[in-house]
A and B are shown apart, each in its own frame.
Chain A
Amino acid sequence: MVATIRLTVPGTLRFRAIAVRVVAEAARLVSGSAQRDPDDPFSNDVRHPFDTAIVSAFMEIFNNIAIHAYQRRGHGTIEIAITPGERDLVIEVRDQGTPFEIDEVAPLPSELDEDSLPEGGMGIHIAKTMLDEMTYEPGPPNRWRLCKRLVANQAAGAGRS
């Protein structure tokens, strides 16, 4: 398996797509999923359940850092270290912004209907639910650690469509 992939980007949403793209490719290294169109390396082609989980969680954490830690001001950096394993992927993310009160995030309603559809506060719930492990240590530097394991029935193309 490849060594840790390291990427440092400014703490702004302008660099989000680049970071997400790198994470998606790292997820493919583990899941073995193929791109729908190999001639379009910048397409948002995320179909395999493993890739879906990793990319969905990472997008929410990046959003959280740019919006809450750096308060949309675009200063500071986001340091990303992605370690693909044989059957798992670990992403460590560090920022120097304002610490986030993760325990204050309200849970989603237990019963969802038309009246209780949420219009916010879903990001951390998505990340936490998609991953096998997610930890956050407030700083600075604030440290996120995201881990997803490949389960047996997801290996090598099981999720291709």
Chain B
Amino acid sequence: MPTFDVLKTNSETRLTIRGSLDINTAPALAEEIDKIVAHKPGKVAVDLASLDLIDSSGVAALVKLYKGVRGVGGAVSFVGARDQPLAIFKLLRMDKVFNL
């Protein structure tokens, strides 16, 4: 199963991330993030409901997405974070920035 998939609609780009987003899987997501940002999306929704584990490399990839999309004038929303990933976002105090 892929770690992530991207669905583009007229209203938003939806990025769904599954399983473990870590130092082994984050580089592939970072490449996809480059493609998403290059299209200058107006709205990106990141679905984290199926994300089981995240490490600092995974967090860095999501920060890259957040900064990249906002840098081209878009908005990013994160939904569904739970368990270990949510604990990491809270520890890093990113939960408030990401509005989790």
Q: Which residues of A contact B83 (CB under 8 A)?
A: 46-47, 52, 161
Count residues of chain B with CB under 8 A from any CB of chain A. Answer: 27
Q: Is the CB of A117 within 8 A of B67?
A: yes
B19 and chain A: residue at smallest CB distance: A44
Question: Which of A56-64, A90-98, A140-148 is found at the contact surface with chain B?
Answer: A56-64
Q: Secondary structure at chain A's binding surface: helix, strand, loop or mixed?
A: helix
Q: Is the CB of B52 within 8 A of A120?
A: no
Q: Is the CB of B23 within 8 A of A44?
A: no
A63 and chain B: residue at smallest CB distance: B23
Against B, the Cβ 8 Å flags (1 = close, 0 = not) of A107-130 are 010001110011110110110011
Bound form: Cα–Cα A13–B96 in Å: 31
Bound form: Cα–Cα A45–B52 in Å: 6
Count residues of chain A with CB under 8 A from any CB of chain B. Answer: 33
The winner among B19, B20, B53, B88 for most chain A CB atoms within 10 A is B53
Given A55-B53, A117-B66: A16 in contact with B24 (beta carbons within 8 A): yes
Taking the closest CB of chain A, its distance from the CB of B61, in whole angstroms, is: 9
Q: Which residues of B contact A135 (CB under 8 A)?
A: none
A/B interface sample: 20 pairs, CB < 8 A = A16-B23, A46-B53, A52-B84, A52-B87, A55-B53, A56-B55, A56-B84, A56-B88, A59-B22, A63-B56, A67-B23, A108-B92, A112-B92, A112-B93, A112-B94, A117-B67, A117-B97, A119-B60, A126-B88, A129-B91
Binding site for A on B (CB under 8 A): 19-20, 22-24, 52-53, 55-57, 59-60, 63-64, 66-67, 70, 83-84, 87-88, 91-94, 96-97
